[in-house]
Amino acid sequence: MNSTKRFFITTSLILTCLASNAQKVNVTKDAQRIKGDNIDGYATDLAGTVEEVSVSYTKYLKVFSKIKTTDKLMQLSDVTIDQTKFTYPLYATVRGKADKVSVWMGMNPAEWTDTAQYKKAQNELEKLVYNFGVKFYRDKIQVDVDEASRAQQIAEKQTLRLQNENKNLNSRLEFNQKEKIRLEKALVDNKAEYETLLLNIANNKKSQDSLTIATEQIKKMVDKHKERQQKVN
């Protein structure tokens, strides 16, 4: 399979993948049992593996908090959201769920003695989970964007290569046509010269034959003159 055909197959697969990966993030209320207590929070289901979601979620949470992980439970401290620093912890988890992965974030009201901070943080939970879901899908799609961009660059390079090759082929064709005309003319000239040479050779042969006869006759005449000369006494 040549490189151009292989490129078009790869491009078709990329476009098919991109067309089929449109995602929508839905966040729902969800409770989990944390340290013996049922804690309300928010969750969203994402299409991906537990490993890739966990890695992405951890990076996301580290942007605005410090993380302590214990038995798949992430406890967030020193949380700063919209320039507001919260002194109480949040909790986050990642769970495999059938063919999807669920990320969750919640807070235990019993640990929050500041009511104003609790209400403000509670209002942020759903947005935090939603923003992560959007970021996760956008980051995944960015991989496809980067791959498609590389495919575009390859296509542009191949197009330029083919354009240059086409210029070279046309230049060679033009030279070939001129050379064909020159050779055809040279062949005609060669044929004419060939016929002229044959005629000249034939005429030369005739001239040689005539001169040979004349030379013989002159020789006989010389011999006769010598014979006459010898008879003088």
Predicted local distance difference test score (pLDDT) of residue 104: 97
CATH number for position 94:
3.30.310.80
In a domain, 192, yes or no: no
Interval 63-67 mean pLDDT: 96
Predicted local distance difference test score (pLDDT) of residue 230: 86
* 123 closest CA partner among 140, 105, 138: 105
In a domain, 226, yes or no: no
Interval 187-211 mean pLDDT: 92
For residue 107, the enclosing domain spans 25-144
In a domain, 127, yes or no: yes
Q: Give this prediction's pTM.
A: 0.67
In a domain, 136, yes or no: yes
Q: What is the mean pLDDT of the chain?
A: 89
pLDDT bin (cut points 50, 70, 90) of residue 132 is: very high
Interval 35-52 mean pLDDT: 94
41 Cβ contact list (under 8 Å, min separation 6): 29, 30, 31, 32, 91, 104, 105, 106, 107, 125
In a domain, 33, yes or no: yes
Interval 191-220 mean pLDDT: 91
Predicted local distance difference test score (pLDDT) of residue 19: 46
In a domain, 154, yes or no: no
Tokens at 87, concatenated:
């002194």
In a domain, 32, yes or no: yes
Query: 33 forms bridges with which residues in the sheet?
Result: 38
Nearest-10 crossing angle of helices 115-230, 3-20: 160
In a domain, 88, yes or no: yes
114 Cβ contact list (under 8 Å, min separation 6): 87, 88
Number of domains in the chain: 1
